[in-house]
Structure 1
């Protein structure tokens, strides 16, 4: 098996979906402007490498908890159809299809909460989605806690290893596409790390290590 891993935000999707999702809700008056600004601050902290992950995911899951399961799913699908889908680059789709035609096993691996990432995974038709999972109670509602640990930074490696152990898969070759230096724990472990529209730190690392640099921007 040749395993291909795609990060989601700023890689397959040209934005931070969590922040844009909050903007979508704010424009509809479903959350306050102050709540949206708090989500933007979490994004800035993430980019700076100083994110309080626990506070960030507590906030993210808290927003999802505002809506009953059925309403939440409808809103998330509408958000994807109206906002995210039109923004996905033909270049991103073409690169994905290249691996699909080659018969590679494709995983979307993202720090984003699973419910927000699902429509993207379904659109591309990935073989598996690895995302941050919120704990769900018997009624199908979020408890506000995260399962395992956030799928961010080193957490992506933890989640991938957990999947490999549970499935018994032993890929012979790994490729990982990412835009962020926060993904270095996983980028350093794969056979082919590819920097996609990388942040400044990842660009420097990619150039220093002769990693491929790509752009999915139209």
Structure 2
């Protein structure tokens, strides 16, 4: 059995689900649009630049979510899936994940975006595991606004992936083949740890790194490899 890990945003999806969720909240009037969009765009710019403080960002994101009862959040997320996410899921992305599943690989999506936003998205790709930033929940299932544990960002993806594998009785270094598909320089730490890193729809910083390291580059959204 081999291991196949996937980033989510701009890797399997041609969008950033975290940022788009914020846009959805603003567009539907769930939050005050102008001030929220300004903050949402600023956090996204930090992510793209590699300067994001994941603790502060998740405090912001979970703080917003904690203002809604869970039933309302779930209702909004169903609308978000129907209007934003599902139309953006491309068959070639699903096919890539399904190929690894058909080969008998252990498959997980490893994303810095939080579990509330990404769990329904991950389910669209089949029976895959999900490693994501976990919100603290109260007894009724409502989000408290706090992060449970540590962020799944940058080197944190290694920490969380290794802990998940350990729970399953596996070790990252013992897989004959371990794949990680990602678009971002933020994921270089985990890309460096697998046997088969694949720069997938890479941004400029990751593309330069991948070319210097001789990694394969996959343009998944156009359906061909370079």
TM-score scaled by length of structure 2: 0.92
Q: CA deviation at 1:102?
A: 1.3
Q: CA deviation at 1:131?
A: 0.3
Runs (5+) with no aligned partner, structure 2: none
User: How far does the alpha carbon of each residue in 1:9-36 deviate from its partner, in whole angstroms, 9 at most, with x for none?
Assistant: 0001111111111111111111112112
Q: Structure 2 CA distance, aligned partners of 1:94 and 1:163?
A: 24
What CA RMSD, in Å, does the superposition of the two structures yield over aligned residues?
A: 1.3
- Does the aligned pair in 2 maintain the 1:135–1:143 contact within 8 Å? yes
- Does the aligned pair in 2 maintain the 1:106–1:128 contact within 8 Å? yes
Query: What SS does the corresponding residue of 2:217 show, helix, strand or coil?
Result: strand
Distance 1:73 1:177, change over 3 A: same
Aligned length: 218
Deviates further, 184-193 or 46-55: 46-55
Runs (5+) with no aligned partner, structure 1: none
- Does the aligned pair in 2 maintain the 1:19–1:36 contact within 8 Å? no
Structure 1 segments (4+ residues) deviating >2 Å? none
Q: CA deviation at 1:3?
A: 0.9
- Does the aligned pair in 1 maintain the 2:179–2:197 contact within 8 Å? yes
Q: Structure 1 CA distance, aligned partners of 2:53 and 2:97?
A: 32
User: How far does the alpha carbon of each residue in 1:13-63 deviate from its partner, in whole angstroms, 9 at most, with x for none?
Assistant: 111111111111111111112112211110101111111222211111012
Q: Structure 2 CA distance, aligned partners of 1:77 and 1:99?
A: 28
Deviates further, 139-148 or 40-49: 139-148
- Does the aligned pair in 1 maintain the 2:63–2:146 contact within 8 Å? no
Question: 2:45 is matched with which residue?
Answer: 44
Question: 1:196 is matched with which residue?
Answer: 200
Q: Structure 2 CA distance, aligned partners of 1:182 and 1:45?
A: 11
Q: CA deviation at 1:189?
A: 0.3
Q: CA deviation at 1:174?
A: 0.9
1:217 matches 2:218:
no
